[in-house]
Every structure is written in C-alpha cells, then in structure tokens.
Structure 1
Amino acid sequence: MQQTGLSELLGSVLASHELELDAVEVAPAGRRRVVRVIVDGDGPGGHGPDLDQIAEATRAISLALDESDVMGEQPYTLEVSSRGVSRPLARPAHYRRNIGRLVALTLVDGGQTTGRITASDDDTVSIESGGNTEVHRLDQVKRAVIQVEMNRRGAPDADTTADEDDDFLDPESGDDDFGPGDTERG
C-alpha cells in the first residue's frame, strides 16, 4: 500500500464532493485492513458535511479505490465518517464550523477556559463565558474540544412520582399500582 498515493487519491475524490480529507488511517484487522477516512467540509449549513454528502463521497471513494492499485492486493474494509465532536479542533475552519457550540480550551500557558464559540477567523477565536467574551489567539491554544451538551427537555418533572409514570399492569390481579418490593411477573 502507498500511503502518499492513498492520501492524494482520497483528497482528489473528496475535493470533487466539496469535502476535505481530515485524516486517514489504515489498520490491520485479521486478514483484512480497515481504511478509516475522516472527512470535513463546510456542508450545506456551513457547520460540516451532512450524511448525504458523506454517502456520496463514500461511493466515489470506494469506486476510486477499486479502480486504483493504491491498496495493493490485500482486501480491506472502508469506513468513511465526519470528524465528530470528539476530535480536537486543529484548524481555523474547525472553529468556524463550530460557532455557537460549547468548547473547552487548554492554553499553551496552562490556563483553561470553557465557553461558547461566538466568532473565529484565521488567527483568533472568541469565546463567551459567563457573560464575558474572551479572544484567544489560535497559536496560543494547545487543545480545543467541543463539549457535548445533553438536552434535558422532555425529562420528567422532579415532582412526578413513580406511581404517576408507571404504566405497568399486574396481569394476575389487574392492579397497575406497583409498590415497593413488587416485581413484574410474567
């Protein structure tokens, strides 16, 4: 396998789909190899590629690899995905595509801050934290990772008791009001 040739081929195919090659990894998996291709791009909303773009790019990559000798004779499995939220932000475009999201920054001087990305350009990122806006030079950011925010909307109110939410029916007694120590039978 030719790593340079693989990266060039993938970059060319992805560019025709308005995507960028973020990373490629080839790992052994028994008698096969797994080719993991991580893609990025602005996508239709400017915040990264959508599933349709990735699906189209996957088909094109598969076809290009089949027509090329860059992978050699050993069989492989192709996996194509977007960057996801777990990969650190590394380029100015990564910050721009995540405007509005919560990010944790570790700075070169050891400082840390968490806040919402409000703006970004080629040299700086603006973070709103606690009503204040901090501007950080990207070359002073050691690590930046998007924080996953769990939406608790739709969770039961704290005042709701288990009896109000239980829809269990005791098939033997017809009693749907299970109490402590009761078990479901069946």
Structure 2
Amino acid sequence: MALQLDTIRATADRVAASHHLDLVDLEFTGGAKHRTLRVFLEKDAAARAEFAAKAAADEEAGLPKGVPVETLSFVTHEDCANFARDFGTVLDVEDLIPGAEYTLEVSSPGLERKLLRPADYTRFTGSLIKLQTFSAIENNRHFTGRLSTFDGTQLTLDLSAIKQKGKAKKALTAQTVTISLANVEKANLVAEI
C-alpha cells in the first residue's frame, strides 16, 4: 500500500482545525525503519490576531524584542503535544501510514519558515527573505532581500535591505529584482533579531 500524502495532509488539516491551529507544512522522509512524518503548525489566523493585539497593547507580553509579531506562530509545546496525540491516533486507527514504525514530529515552522503558498508571500510582505530560483536572473539564482511587493504572480525584492555577498554582490547592478512566483524554487524568511 502506497503512502497517500494528500489524505494525510487533509487529515492533519482537520485535526489542526479542531485545535485552532493551521497546518503550515507536512513532509515525510526516510525509509525502512527510519521514517519520519514532520508536521509544522501555527495558531490559526484568529488566534494569531488576538496574540498580536495583546502584544501591541502590552510591552511586557514576553515576546522576543525586535522580532516582527507576524512571523511568530504562537504555538506552544502543549499545542504540539495535544495535536500529536490526536493526529497520531487518527493515523494509526485509519492506517494512513502503512507499516508499523514511523516517528511523528510536530513543531512550529520557526522564525526562518518556508514560504510555500502565494498567501505566505502576501502575509510576509515587508519581511527579509532568502530565495532560490529555477532559472537565473542576471546570472544569479540566489537572492536575499526585503520582500517589498507581491501581486499574486510577481514578487519584488529590495536587495539594498542587506549587504549582498559573493556572486550576488558582483552580478547584480540593480537595487531591486522582480521574480515570477513560478520561477521560485524555494524561499524562506530570514530571522531579524
């Protein structure tokens, strides 16, 4: 029986919603006896907005200084443990992962989370990101800069937001670069602390 990631993802979405969480990403790695299912979660949009409002009103909210509130997932160890217990039970009862042995890991996506969907680029406009493209732009496939705009299909990076290194420093003459979302191979936030 083959592993059906779409079914597992839909099940994770359903279980996460019951805990007021959103599924950010899910990945299955390894083989034989060393298989791992990693699930990355964050509080749902309503809970994140509530925490952000509390943080804005309370200087002593206990949030890291200098970290943009929107980049925080607000997921606690208790959230992860509760989700893992319920999701693990469903996986086992419905036999969604064939074979007896696998490890379930549940965590937040972290400060340097992956950007996977167009909604991620919209949400994190104004943040520092690092990305790699499928095809080169001005002889470069690796960029780091501030995501200044995203229109749903094209994103613009402000490269002057950070000091460029290596090939990027030599190759790029422009202060901004516009990249098609279809050309983005992988992208993630860069922690600003």
1:62 paired residue number: 88
CA contact (8 A) 2:3 2:98 kept: no
2:62 paired residue number: none
Paired with 2:145 and 2:93, the residues of 1 have a C-alpha distance of 46
1:115 paired residue number: 145
Paired with 1:140 and 1:93, the residues of 2 have a C-alpha distance of 16
Paired with 1:106 and 1:69, the residues of 2 have a C-alpha distance of 37
Looking at CA atoms only, which structure, 1 or 2, has the larger radius of gyration? 1
Work out which structure has the larger RCO, using CA pairs closer than 8 Å and 6 or more positions apart in sequence. 2
Q: Structure 2 vs 1, CA of residues 97 and 55 (structure 1 numbering), >3 Å: closer, same or farther?
A: farther
Secondary structure of residue in 2 paired with 1:130 = helix
Structure 2 unmatched runs, 5+: 50-69, 162-174
Secondary structure of residue in 1 paired with 2:86 = helix
Residue 114 of structure 1 aligns to which amino acid in structure 2? T
The offset of 1:79, in angstroms, is 0.5
CA contact (8 A) 2:130 2:144 kept: yes
1:9 paired residue number: 11
Secondary structure of residue in 1 paired with 2:30 = strand
Q: Structure 2 vs 1, CA of residues 11 and 21 (structure 1 numbering), >3 Å: closer, same or farther?
A: farther
TM-score (norm 2): 0.56
CA contact (8 A) 1:42 1:48 kept: no
Paired with 1:56 and 1:97, the residues of 2 have a C-alpha distance of 27
Give the number of equivalent residue pairs.
Answer: 149
Question: Could you say what the CA RMSD is over the residues aligned between the two structures, in angstroms?
Answer: 3.5
1:136 paired residue number: 179
Residue 87 of structure 2 aligns to which amino acid in structure 1? I
Structure 1 unmatched runs, 5+: 152-186
- 1:49 equivalent among 73, 78, 100: 73
CA contact (8 A) 1:33 1:74 kept: no
The offset of 1:3, in angstroms, is 1.8
Query: What percentage of aligned pairs have identical amino acids?
Result: 29
The offset of 1:25, in angstroms, is 0.5
1:35 paired residue number: 37
Residue 122 of structure 2 aligns to which amino acid in structure 1? R
